[in-house]
Structure 1
Amino acid sequence: MGVFGETWSWLADGANWSGESGVWHLLGQHLYFSVVSLLVACVIGLPAALYLGHIGKGGALAVNLSNVGRAVPTFAVLALLITTPLRKNGDVPTILALVLFAVPPLLTNAYVGMREVDRSVVEAARGMGMSGRQVFFRVELPLAYPLVMNGVRSATVQVIATATLAAMVGEGGLGRIITAGFNTQSTPQVVAGALIVGLLALLVEGALVLASRLCDPMRRRGAAAAE
């Protein structure tokens, strides 16, 4: 039948989708890890990056420090956290490791987006009497929005893919399908797990692309002006 035929058979088997070890249950765990981690990372990274980009101070240092996290393998961080007292707090080590992994792209893109806003536009807005708050929300943030959302999409896809590592330290998520396939030497199951994770990442990124276009403040302003 071949690997792809056997993979399709595995995916078509309803028994593999139900129960605590089934795809639906593991998908729920995977989404929980990913969504919570991204929300926490956004709360930490975006306000700091946008503010530093607005004032133009300290951003380069913050970006460089956050990028240090990219040099450390996520699995190493996760394995280290599992050995600490945090292990008693259930999913905290997994979420914390994913947060550390998600912050760099969020912080970098948001800061760069703010700093790449045309300074002449900013100065013109200030010359019109806008306060610093008005310049931030009505000029800088709308113009930086595309790069900010690129960072969000990048972090989201990376977190969804990396969350599979949680299974390697005994946590849940779609990674359990892959690790179980390795343990039983079932190549079709490994391929099926990888396909599900890849499809999930593509679907979520597509949804974010659509949402970012619909919520683009410049797009809404253009539509309003056309009316």
Structure 2
Amino acid sequence: MRYLIANWPYVGELFLEHLWLTLSALLIATAIALPVGVILSRVAWLRTPVLGILGIIYTIPSLSLLVLLIPFLRLGYRPALVTLIAYAQLVLVRSVVVGINGIEPAIIEAAKGMGMNSWQRLLRVELPLALPVMIAGLRVATLSTIAIATVAAFVNAGGLGTLLFDGVRSSNSEKIIAGAISVSLLAVAANILFRRAEIWATRSRGPT
């Protein structure tokens, strides 16, 4: 804690780097996963191969994937960003598929009976009803991204993992503790935020 208090401007800078890397990866990952998840919810035969490929990517150790990307993207922010986006896909895509496919068929039929086309059903009925499940998936993906972003410091991507790697290299336990506390606080704050968002989405959905 002494290192954290004495060096808070430096730790704060690393915190912002970590937060930016996490947020940018999640925004891009969500922009990719949402349409992919919607397509998979519509085209059943695509589900198994696509989710299988995403599952294979997810099982690759994060450090191994980071190192594999270095010859193509070099050290720094870019290989870390690509890795985080890739790892988030399985959880995000699956949450979209499960959320949409978990809607009662009677609700979809009622929407069709009201004259809604497929786009109107998606935007007005399916996505709002699937929102709690999608937020739950986003919460899991966020916590995973925060953790993997820590490892990304190994390829000079910055962030709070820098404290951990520097602490290990220099045998400085205070740096290690400061890094671990900072990452844990970020993860706990994100978990609380998304849990509240899940509760809000569930309540606002109302009875189905």
- TM-score, normalising length: structure 2: 0.90
Partner of 2:193: 207
Partner of 2:4: 11
SS in 1 for 2:41: helix
Partner of 2:131: 145
1:9 is displaced (CA, Å) by: 2.0
Which has more radius of gyration?
1
Q: In the alignment, is the contact (CA less than 8 A) between 1:164 and 1:174 conserved in 2?
A: yes
2-structure distance, mates of 1:57, 1:144:
21
**Counterparts in 2 of 1:127-166, with a 5 A limit?**
127-166=113-152
Q: In the alignment, is the contact (CA less than 8 A) between 1:213 and 1:219 conserved in 2?
A: yes
1:51 is displaced (CA, Å) by: 3.1
- Residue 87 in 1 paired to residue 59 in 2? no
Q: In the alignment, is the contact (CA less than 8 A) between 2:128 and 2:205 conserved in 1?
A: no
Show CA shifts across 1:54-80 (max 9, x none).
454523332222111111011111111
Partner of 2:18: 30
**CA, structure 1 residues 221+69, in 2 after alignment: closer, same or farther (shift >3 Å)?**
closer
SS in 2 for 1:58: helix
1-structure distance, mates of 2:138, 2:101:
17
1:212 is displaced (CA, Å) by: 4.4
Task: Decide which of 135, 157, 163 is 1:171's aligned counterpart.
Answer: 157
**Counterparts in 2 of 1:92-131, with a 5 A limit?**
92-131=78-117
Structure 2, unaligned stretches of length 5 or more? none
2-structure distance, mates of 1:57, 1:131:
23
Moved over 3 A (4+): 54-57, 211-214, 218-222
2-structure distance, mates of 1:58, 1:100:
18
Comparing both chains, which one has the higher relative contact order based on Cα–Cα distances under 8 Å and sequence gaps of 6 or more? 2
Q: In the alignment, is the contact (CA less than 8 A) between 2:3 and 2:174 conserved in 1?
A: yes
Letter of the structure 1 residue corresponding to residue 139 of structure 2 = R
- TM-score, normalising length: structure 1: 0.83
Q: How many residues align?
A: 207
**CA, structure 1 residues 55+139, in 2 after alignment: closer, same or farther (shift >3 Å)?**
farther
Task: Decide which of 39, 45, 48 is 1:51's aligned counterpart.
Answer: 39
Structure 1, unaligned stretches of length 5 or more? 1-7, 223-227
SS in 2 for 1:121: helix
Letter of the structure 1 residue corresponding to residue 74 of structure 2 = R
